[in-house]
C-alpha cells in the first residue's frame, strides 16, 4: 500500500526573514507600549488639571512643578525610574482640592480657622483618591498628595512629620510648589522676583525645606531659571493677547 508523504503546513522561512519578522513585531509592540504609556501619563495630567482649574490657577503651574521636581531629582542623582515617577506624579499634588467645596476654595477675602482646616484636608482627601492603587505611579501620587505640605522642622500638615520621616518625594514637591507659588502672580498677590524668591527659600533651609533637597535645587539653579524664564515669556505673551 502506498504511503502518503507527510507535508508540513509550516512555510519554510529563512533565518533572515524570521529575524525581520521578529524585529517588526518588536517595533510594533514597543510602539503600542509607548502609546499606552503616553495616554496614561496624559490622562493623569488632565485629571490634575481639573483640580488646578478649580483653584483658579493655570495648567502652567503643573508643568513647572513637574519640571522643577525633575531638576531637583537630577540634582539629587535619583534613579531614572524614581525621576519618572516624580515627574508624572508631582502634578497630582493638589488633586484633593477636587473634593473641597468651591464656596471655601474660591472664597474672596480671608478664611475662618475652620475653613482653613477644611482646605488642609486636600492632602488626606487626595491620598484617599489613590488609596489601594496598584500602579507604582499612582502610589507615588498618593505619597505626594499626602505629604507635600509637611515641613522639615515638623510644623507642617497633616501629620506634622519631621525631617527624613517625610517621604523624599513629598520633600521635593514641597520646595517645587512653594518656589512656584512665590514666583507666580495669583489673584490675591504679586509675584516675587526670581532672586528674591531664591533668598526666601534659602532662608527656610532646615525649617520648611530639607537641606539636601534645597542643595540639589540650588545645584540646578541655571536650569531652574530657564524653566522660570520660559513660562514668564509664555504668560507675558498670553496677557498681551
The residue ranges that bind Fe ion (CB under 5 A) are 94, 177
Closest distance of CB 148 from Fe ion, Å: 6
User: What would the grid cell of residue 174 be?
Assistant: 514641597
Cα(19)–Cα(6) distance, integer angstroms: 27
User: What would the grid cell of residue 51 be?
Assistant: 483640580
Closest distance of CB 45 from Fe ion, Å: 14
Q: Which is nearer to Fe ion, 142 or 177 (CB)?
A: 177
Closest distance of CB 16 from Fe ion, Å: 55
Closest distance of CB 163 from Fe ion, Å: 20
Q: Which is nearer to Fe ion, 39 or 73 (CB)?
A: 73
Q: Which is nearer to Fe ion, 63 or 230 (CB)?
A: 63
Closest distance of CB 76 from Fe ion, Å: 20
Q: Which is nearer to Fe ion, 10 or 95 (CB)?
A: 95
Query: In Å, what is the CA distance from 42 to each residue of 34, 49, 115, 130?
Result: 12, 10, 33, 17
Closest distance of CB 94 from Fe ion, Å: 4
Q: What is the Cα 4 distance to its own chain's centre?
A: 68
Amino acid at each position: 500500500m502506498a504511503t502518503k508523504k507527510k507535508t508540513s503546513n509550516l512555510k519554510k522561512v529563512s533565518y533572515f526573514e524570521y529575524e525581520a519578522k521578529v524585529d517588526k513585531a518588536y517595533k510594533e509592540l514597543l510602539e503600542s507600549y509607548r502609546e499606552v504609556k503616553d495616554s496614561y501619563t496624559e490622562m493623569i495630567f488632565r485629571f490634575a488639571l481639573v483640580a488646578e482649574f478649580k483653584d483658579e490657577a493655570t495648567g502652567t503651574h503643573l508643568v513647572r512643578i513637574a519640571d522643577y521636581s525633575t531638576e531637583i531629582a537630577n540634582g539629587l542623582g535619583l534613579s531614572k525610574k524614581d525621576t519618572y515617577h516624580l515627574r508624572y506624579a508631582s502634578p497630582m499634588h493638589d488633586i484633593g482640592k477636587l473634593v473641597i467645596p468651591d464656596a471655601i476654595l474660591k472664597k474672596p477675602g480671608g478664611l475662618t480657622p475652620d475653613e482653613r482646616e477644611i482646605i488642609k484636608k486636600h492632602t488626606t482627601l487626595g491620598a484617599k483618591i489613590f488609596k489601594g492603587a496598584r500602579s507604582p505611579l499612582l502610589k507615588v501620587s498618593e505619597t505626594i498628595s499626602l505629604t507635600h505640605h509637611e515641613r522639615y522642622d515638623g510644623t507642617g500638615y497633616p501629620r506634622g512629620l519631621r525631617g527624613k520621616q517625610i517621604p523624599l518625594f513629598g520633600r521635593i514637591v514641597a520646595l517645587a510648589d512653594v518656589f512656584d507659588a512665590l514666583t507666580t502672580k495669583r489673584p490675591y498677590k504679586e509675584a516675587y522676583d526670581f532672586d528674591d524668591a531664591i533668598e526666601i527659600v534659602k532662608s527656610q533651609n532646615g525649617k520648611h525645606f530639607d537641606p539636601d533637597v534645597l542643595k540639589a535645587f540650588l545645584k540646578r539653579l541655571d536650569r531652574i531659571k530657564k524653566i522660570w524664564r520660559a513660562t514668564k515669556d509664555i504668560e507675558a505673551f498670553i496677557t498681551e493677547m
